[in-house]
Amino acid sequence: HGPVSRLLTFALCVAVVLGAFTAHTADAGRLRHLDVQPLDYAVNRIAVIGDSYTTGSDQGGNGPQGWAPQAWRALTEHGIAVTPTVAAEGGAGFCTRGNRGGVFEDLTVRAVKPTDVLVVFYGSRNDMDVEPTRLSVAMYGTLSLARQIARSAQLLVIGPPWPTADPPAKILRVRDVLSYQAELAGATFVDPIAAGWFVGRPELIGADGVHPTDAGHTYMAEKIAPLIAAELHPY
């Protein structure tokens, strides 16, 4: 009976070890549930949708020099942790397809997640030649889509900037339609044209007269980071 006895002893040992492992795993699971999840929620998940003012261009704002990475660094320095997803495409707008074929609706699908606490739209001057009714419908659909995906997120809609004090009527029309649709969507609307972003600061815009330089991206980060902070901590 010696081998059988040893086998039973071995089986009992295995059962005890497995039982202890299972209990430990259950405890670990409970700990993960208690400790890690609140930590996840403490991180502010943000989606940004934009055009070349966000991607950067040959005039500046590429990689870490872009306004978005600079804004994340500034927020972190002020104790606001963010997990950003940026989907931006040169030439894109709510109606106008960018250099990779996307409009803001496509970028919304790519960037926005159900756990996002904030969705930021920035632009776009690329919609200047779009018929206003068509533009309004596209804006409504895109902002509604963001609301459907991230149901508890705040929306921050930043209108298109213009580098001079005399913006053309076409860009003002884009701004006005977007302001109206942002209000319908319950979003915070920020108007760079009314605020005079870039005006009288030629060093902030590149030689092409359109795209921001590295200094221009730093300037945008200084403008936009506080707007994001205000949405994340409204009180």
Catalytic member of 51, 124, 191, 211: 211
Instruction: State yes or no: is 52 an active-site residue.
Output: yes
Q: Is 116 a catalytic residue?
A: no
Contact indicator for 138, 102 with CB cutoff of 8 Å: no
Of the residues 51, 52, 124, 136, only one is catalytic, namely 52
Q: How far apart are CA 116 and CA 109, in angstroms?
A: 13
Active site residue 233: no
Question: Per the omega criterion (within 30 degrees of 0), is the bond before 124 cis?
Answer: yes
Per the listing, tokens 């009976």 go with: 1
- Which candidate in 1, 5, 166, 208 is catalytic? 208
Assigned token pair, 223: 């403008």
Tokens, residue 85: 């997803």
The structure tokens listed for 125 are: 């001057």
In degrees and rounded to multiples of 5, residue 153 shows phi and psi of: -80, 150
Catalytic residues: 52, 208, 211
